[in-house]
Structure formats: structure tokens, C-alpha cells
Amino acid sequence: MAAYGGETHERIPAHVAIIMDGNGRWAKKRLLPRSAGHRAGVKRMVKLAEHAFDSGVKVLTLYALSVENLHRPQEELQGLFSLIREYFSGDTEKIAARGVALRVIGEIGLLPEDVARLIEEGIKKGGDGSGGTLVFAIAYGARQEIVRAVNRAVAAGKEVTEAQFCEFLDTAGLPDPDLLIRTGRERRLSNFLLFQSAYTEFYFSDKLFPDFSNRDLDAAFASYAARERRFGRIK
Ligand code: IPE
Ligand code: IPE
Ligand code: MG
């Protein structure tokens, strides 16, 4: 990929990251409980992931739960944990059958033990990576991730280069995101991939996540394809 010098780049971003926001408002608009919005969000997420890999995306990172989300009311959290349990107990099979490897970033140790275990078991049942990599950010916070990485570097006992530091991040071995999409009208990162998104292209959609269709993803790809990435350089 010709990434530098303002040259053309691949039309389809290799690594797409999505902040899946707006489930609660989607449910509220329909006078449904927030949990119904999260359930609709998972359904949409499954379809979007298939479409992304069909389109040629190599890595898809999905922000499913932030560390800060763990301060939401117990009732909502229990609903979210149930959805995570359901998803990782079987729904991963279809995407794994397409050769998509599964991975998680974040501190899943902060989750109830059985939820963390189901995630770990589900991840192991992922594909060999020939079809891409699906990364779930669960109990994830970028600042916390950076601090963890710093502590790992300190424990290693020597100064690190930028490349070596990246290996201490939860995203070790993954390329930086090329395109970061946030649904749900907000224009902020909410503690997502702060280090990795230094030169990422941003795309904000006003659609609430359960309404963000495969066509909306195509529109994000089209927007990305029309951009010139300069990485601080000039032509
Ligand atoms: C995103 O939807 C999913 C999670 C944060 C788990 P929200 O639950 O934040 O939905 P809104 O922003 O309240 O609509
Ligand atoms: C970001 O959305 C986290 C996820 C989508 C998982 P939030 O709804 O938590 O973000 P804020 O609170 O609006 O910044
Ligand atoms: Mg939100």
C-alpha cells in the first residue's frame, strides 16, 4: 500500500474501526427498553462484519464496551453481559467458518468471570485469519491500555522505540486503523484507540447504530476512497 507521500491508497481500508454508538437512543425512539437497542445493535453488527470482510477489509475492530460503560446501571450491564454471553457462545461460528480470526482488546478481567471465560473460549474458536481478523474492544479504554503498555515497558527494564512500544499495546501486531467510523451523531473518540489513530481517517454518521446499514458502510468506504492521506508530508 502506498501510504506515504500523498499518493493513492487502497480504496478499501485495510483496517476499519467502528464505535457502535446509539443503541440506547434507537430503543428510546421506539419506546423500548435500552436492552432492545443493544440486541438490535448486535444483529446489525453481525451483518456489518460479514459485509466488511466481503468488501475486502482485513481487520475490523468493533468498540463493544468501554471501561467507562462499566459504570452504567446494573440492569443495563446485566443485559449487555447476557448479549456478550450469547454472542460468544455460538454466534461467532459463522464468521469463524469464513476463516476470520477473533481477538479481544481491553481488560476482560473486569467482567464477571463467566463472561470473561466465554469470551476467551469463543476467541479460541475463531478462524485461521485467512479471511481477516475481527477484533472486539470489550472493557476497553485507550488511556488504560497506554498505561498498561507503559508499565509493561518499564517491567521490561529498557527504553523502547515506537515500534517496540506498539508491541506492548493490546493491539500488538495489528496495523493502525485506516478508517474509524462513529455512528450515533456524536463527534468524539470516547477513549477509543487514542494511540493507534494518529493518522486515521474519521467518518461520522448521524445514523444510530442499529440503523447503520451495509450501504451506509459502503458510503463510508466511498468517502475514504476520495481522501488524500498525507501523513504530514507533501506531494
Ligand atoms: C452504544 O450505544 C453501545 C454501548 C455503549 C454499550 P449506547 O448504549 O451508548 O447508546 P446511546 O448513546 O445511549 O444511544
Ligand atoms: C462509546 O460510546 C463506547 C461504545 C460505543 C462501546 P458511549 O456512548 O459510551 O460514549 P459517550 O459516553 O457518549 O462518550
Ligand atoms: Mg452512547
Going from the Cα of 55 to the center of ligand 3, the distance in angstroms, rounded, reads: 27
Most distant CA pair in the chain, distance: 56
pLDDT tens across the length of the chain (235 residues): 434 444 557 899 999 999 999 999 999 999 999 999 999 999 999 999 999 999 999 999 999 999 999 999 999 999 999 999 999 998 899 999 999 999 999 999 999 999 999 999 999 999 999 999 999 999 999 999 999 999 999 999 989 999 999 999 999 999 999 999 999 999 999 999 999 999 999 999 999 999 999 999 999 999 999 999 999 999 8
**Half-sphere exposure for 158 (CA within 13 Å, toward CB):** 3
- What Rg value do the Cα atoms of the chain yield, rounded? 18
Domain limits, the chain: 12-220
The letter for the amino acid at 99 is G
Q: Please enumerate, as own/partner, the contacts of 80-85 that have beta carbons within 8 Å and a separation of 24 or more.
A: 80/35, 80/38, 81/111, 81/112, 81/115, 83/38, 83/39, 83/42, 84/111, 84/115, 84/118, 84/119, 84/138, 85/114, 85/115, 85/118
Going from the Cα of 128 to the center of ligand 1, the distance in angstroms, rounded, reads: 31
**Residue 103 near residue 132 (C-beta atoms within 8 A):** no
Cross-strand pairs, 201:
179
Going from the Cα of 58 to the center of ligand 2, the distance in angstroms, rounded, reads: 25
Q: How far is CA 111 from the centre of its chain?
A: 18
Q: Is 161 exposed, middle or buried (0-12, 13-18, 19+ CB in 10 A)?
A: exposed
Closest atom, ligand 1, to C-alpha of 22: 14
CATH no., domain 12-220 = 3.40.1180.10
Q: Is 23 a catalytic residue?
A: no
Ligand nearest to the CA of 189: 2
What phi and psi values does residue 114 have, to the nearest 5 degrees?
-70, -35
| Spatial distance between the Cα atoms of 233 and 235, rounded to a whole number of angstroms | 7
Q: What pLDDT sits at residue 216?
A: 98
Ligand nearest to the CA of 24: 1
Q: How far is CA 107 from the centre of its chain?
A: 14
Q: Is 214 a catalytic residue?
A: no
Please tell me which residue in 23, 69, 170, 178 is annotated as part of the active site. 69
Q: What pLDDT sits at residue 9?
A: 73
**Residue 141 near residue 154 (C-beta atoms within 8 A):** no
